[in-house]
Structure 1
Amino acid sequence: MRNLYLFFRKHYFIFLFLLLEVVSLIFFFRHNKFQNAVMYDWTSAISGRVNNTYNSIAEYLYLRRTNFILGEENAKLHARMPQAIYLADTQIYIRNDTIMQSEYRFINAKVISNTTNRRNNYMMINKGIMHGIEPHMGIIAGDKIVGQVVSVSRHFSWIMSVLHKEVKISAKFLKNNQLVSVEWHGGDYQIGVVKEIPKHLIVSAGDSIITSGNSEIFPEGILVGTIKQVKEHQDENFNTATICFLTDFNGLGYIEVVLDMFKEEKTNLKASFQEL
C-alpha cells in the first residue's frame, strides 16, 4: 500500500496533467458545435461497432442452441405429416371407428463428421443406442434424403450417405408415381443417376423424384432431387437420367433419424410368408 502511495506521489504531476487535459477537451467539445458534432459522430461510430461485435458474439454463442431447438421442432412437425400417420379402419358390428396412430417417429441429431469427396462417404451423428437408434434406419434433413444407419454405439451412429456405391434408393416420379431407382456413381456430390425409367415415359428436366415408400428405410414422399438430363438407350429396355440432389450434403449440420413404429410387425409378416 505504501509503495502505491509513493508511486502516485512521485508521478502525481502526470496524473494531474492528464486530468486537466480531459477536462479541457470536455469543455472544448461542449462549447464548439463543429467539434461537438465531430466527436458525436466518432463516438457513435465506435459505439455502433462495439454493439455489432457484441451482437455477433452473442448470436454465435446462441446459434448452437437455436439450431438444436429448430431441429427438435422439425422432428415434431415431421411426425405430424400425412406420410407419418397410419390410418386403419376397423369395423365391429355396425360401428366404424377410424384409428390414427403415428407410423413414424423422428429423432433430431447433430452431424459431427461427414465426407463428400470419396467414392464411399459416411457421416457420424451424436445419437446412438441409448436414444433408440438402430441399424437400417433412414436419415433425412428436413424433407430431403440423406442416408441410412449402418452401425451404432451407445452414444453415436455411423451413417452411410446417399453418396455411396452400395446405396440404391427406391424412388418414383412425383407427377405420375412411376417407380425408378436412384444411385450415385461418384464424382460431383450434387449429381446422381436415375435408372429403370420406362421408355414410354415422357421425362422432362425439372421433374421431381421422391422416395417411393416401398423400402423399409424411408417414408413415402421424401425429396430426392430433380431431373437434369435424360439419356435414351436404344439397345436397352430402360432409359436413365442424371438427377440434381436437393440435399446439400456438404453443408449438413442437423439431421433426423426415421423410426418406423411398425417395422417389427412388417418384418415378422415377411418372415412368416417366407417360411411357407
Structure 2
Amino acid sequence: MHAMMIETVSLVLQCGEYVRNACKHLKIEEKGFANYVTNIDMSVQHQLEEGLSALSPESAFISEENADNDYGASGSRWIVDPIDGTTNLIHGYPHVAISVAHYSPGQRFGIIYNPFNGELFTALSGQGAFLNGQPLHVSEHTALEQCIIGFGLPYDRAKSAPMLAAVGKVYAACQDMKRKGPASLDLAYVAAGRLDGYFEQDLKIWDIAAGLVLLEEAGGQASDWQGNKLDANLAITDLAASNGAIQLELLQRL
C-alpha cells in the first residue's frame, strides 16, 4: 500500500473512534430542509484537514463542510466527506461513513470507513480494491432482472420527481432495490458485489470521489446518466454505477 495511503488510513481510523465516542454528545444544526450538519461533522472535518494537510501540504482540500471549494484545482487534491450519512447519524442508524480520496496526476486512492461496523474499504489505482484487507470484485450478474440496485434521493424535494420516475423504471426490471443513504457506501457496496448497481442525481464530488476509485479497481463502471465519463472537477453530477455488465441496461432505464 502507498505510504501516504497508510498514514491516511490511520488518520481515518482515529476519526472513526472519535465518531463512536462523540455520538452521545451530538449537537445538530439544519443547513436546509432535511439537510443537517453536526458538531461531529465539523470536528472530523477539522481533524482530517489538519492531518491530511500535513501529509500533503501542496494538495488542495475539497470537502462538504468547506465554505468554499476550488473544484477546478489543478495538481493533487484531497476530496473529503467527513460524515457521509449525517441524517443516519442523527437517528442512530449505523449506515455512516468517513470518505477520503486523494487524486493526483497518475495516481488516486480512496478510503471509505464505517466506524459503526468496522468495515474499511480501500483502493489504490492499479493495486485493486479491498475490504479489511480482503480483495473485492464486482458481481457477475449480466441482466437487470438478476440484480439488486441501490439509489438515493435528493435533499431538494422539488427535484424528486425525475428521480422517483427513474426508480420506478428500474424497479420494474430489477430483482430488488435498496436505499440506505450514503453515496460513498453505496459505491463501496457495488465494488464489493453486494449491490449490482447504484444511481442518484445531484451528487457532489466528495460523495463519490473515494467510491469511484473503489469501483474502478473492483472491475466496475461509472458514468453520468447519458453514459459520459465523469469529470472529477465537476461540482455536481448525476451518477450511474454498476458491475459494468449491466451498465448499458441500467442507463437505458434511466
TM-score by length of 1: 0.23
TM-score by length of 2: 0.25
Q: Which is richer in strand?
A: 1
The structure number with the bigger radius of gyration is 1
